[in-house]
Amino acid sequence: MMNFTMPRATALAFALLAPLAAHADCTPAIASEDLVEGPALHLSINPTNPPQQFVDEKGQLQGLNVDLAAELGKRMCLDVKLVRMDFPAMIPAMNAGRIDGLNTGMFWTEERSKLMWTVPYSEQSISVVVSARSDATLASEDDLAGKTVAVEINSYQMNWLKKQSEDLVAAGKKEINIRGFQTASNVVAALRAGQVDNALLVDSVGRDLVARGEVKEILTGLGKTRTTMAFRNKTVADAIVKAFDEMQDDGTYKALFDKWQLSPLPEGERVAIAGTGPQQ
Residues 266 and 257: their CA atoms lie apart, in Å, by 12
DSSP conformational letter for 176 = P
Non-local CB neighbours of 37 within 8 Å, separated by 6+ positions:
none
The predicted structure's pLDDT at residue 3:
39
DSSP characters for 17-37?
Answer: PPPBPPPSSS--SS-GGGSTB
For 49-85, letters b (16+ CB in 10 Å) and e give bbbbbbbeeeeebbbbbbbbbbbbbbbbbbbbbbbbb
The predicted structure's pLDDT at residue 250:
98
The predicted structure's pLDDT at residue 9:
37
Residues 135 and 252: their CA atoms lie apart, in Å, by 41
The predicted structure's pLDDT at residue 48:
86
The predicted structure's pLDDT at residue 26:
87
3-state secondary structure of 94: helix
pTM of the model: 0.82
Residues 278 and 280: their CA atoms lie apart, in Å, by 6
pLDDT tens, position by position, for the chain (280 residues)?
333 333 333 333 344 454 565 555 789 999 999 999 989 999 999 998 889 999 999 999 999 999 999 999 999 999 999 999 998 899 999 999 999 999 999 999 999 999 999 999 999 999 999 999 999 999 999 999 999 999 999 889 999 999 999 999 999 999 999 999 998 889 999 999 999 999 999 999 999 999 999 999 999 999 999 999 999 999 999 999 999 999 999 999 999 999 999 999 999 999 999 999 998 6
What is the set of domains in the chain, with CATH numbers?
Answer: 15-123+226-264 (3.40.190.10), 125-224 (3.40.190.10)
The predicted structure's pLDDT at residue 5:
37
Distances (CA, A) of 44 to 5, 87, 103, 156, 231: 17, 9, 6, 18, 10
Alpha helices in the chain (DSSP H): 64-76, 90-95, 110-113, 156-170, 184-192, 203-211, 234-250, 252-260
